[in-house]
Amino acid sequence: MKFGLFGINTGPCADPATAAAVARAAEAAGFESVWTGEHIVLPEPQAPPSPVPADTPFIDSAIALAYVAAVTRTVKLGTGIIILPQRNPVVLAKELASVDVLSNGRLIFGIGIGYLKPEFEAIGAPFDHKGPRTEDFLAAMIALWSMEKPAYRGRFVSFGGINAMPRPVQKPHPEVVFGGHTKEAYGRAARLAKGWFGFALDVEGAAKCVEGVRAACKEVGRRFEDIEISVTPRGRVDLDTAKRFAALGVSRLILLHRGRDEQTIAKFIGETEHELIGKV
């Protein structure tokens, strides 16, 4: 079982000194990865389905990961997730290629399609066709990352006669992970990604999602074992719970710290190292 740490760009880790200290501590403790969350803007006042108050700080994912890349050596750097249909895919491809280069190939590109309509409206991004738009944008980004002479003609993005350097260190491109708890999300993971990421799940909820991913793999003729399943658990995880997740086929637990400052996050990292890392 791999262990990741969620929230390297938000809450107390929106402070650069805290983010650096937490990333170094996680790497030293044996965490395999650190992960960002993303909301470019949030509804004010908060109303469902908005997950957090509007004054919750979120450092931009690419900037946060580039920053912690400079103070770490081996820990992987995951976007968990970037809301792809809100972004310009050509610009984002440049930003994430830059992160992969600056980190010497440690980026994991986690993608979601988003669900907060006020956020899309504020950005000026269409709220319809989010799934097809996401798939189109991803294909365009992969073209920019992997083609000698990048060219792409899609429904929502089109280009040719251009180039974008540098290319990512990882070949042919950084690994892609799709988030989401719907049949469509499972299908995108099975067809287009190395992995699937489920957020805020208990063991029973994760089991249902894993079965969804398994069914999607069967539908497209892909081996389920070739999909890397990542889950951020709901609530605290002890060794028995971690083993139950592993038994489902979960290969990475991305733990959400509940710390309000550097000291309490460091305590959580130390407890995880002592109780879980290397024992599942």
- Confirm if 100 and 168 have CB atoms less than 8 A apart: yes
- Alpha carbon dihedral 140, 141, 147, 153, in 10-degree steps, equals 10
Query: For the chain, how are helix, strand and coil distributed in percent, rounded to 5?
Result: 45, 20, 40
Domains of the chain plus CATH, in order, are: 2-275 (3.20.20.30)
Phi, psi (5° rounding) for residue 67?
Answer: -65, -50
Q: Which residues pair with 159 in a beta bridge?
A: 152
Closest CA to 192 of 249, 150, 145, 134: 134
Handedness of CA 80, 216, 234, 119 (dihedral sign): positive
Beta strand 152-153 with 158-159 is antiparallel
The pLDDT of residue 50 is: 96
> Rg of the chain's alpha carbons, rounded to an integer?
18
Kindly give the confidence (pLDDT) of every residue in the chain, 280 residues in length, as a single tens digit, with 9 standing for 90 and above: 999 999 999 999 999 999 999 999 999 999 999 999 999 999 999 999 999 999 999 999 999 999 999 999 999 999 999 999 999 999 999 999 999 999 999 999 999 999 999 999 999 999 999 999 999 999 999 999 999 999 999 999 999 999 999 999 999 999 999 999 999 999 999 999 999 999 999 999 999 999 999 999 999 999 999 999 999 999 999 999 999 999 999 999 999 998 999 999 999 999 999 999 999 9
* SS3 label, residue 81: coil
Closest CA to 231 of 208, 258, 202: 202
- Confirm if 169 and 105 have CB atoms less than 8 A apart: yes
pTM beyond 0.95, yes or no: yes
Phi, psi (5° rounding) for residue 3?
Answer: -125, 130
Q: Which tokens is 262 given?
A: 């550097």
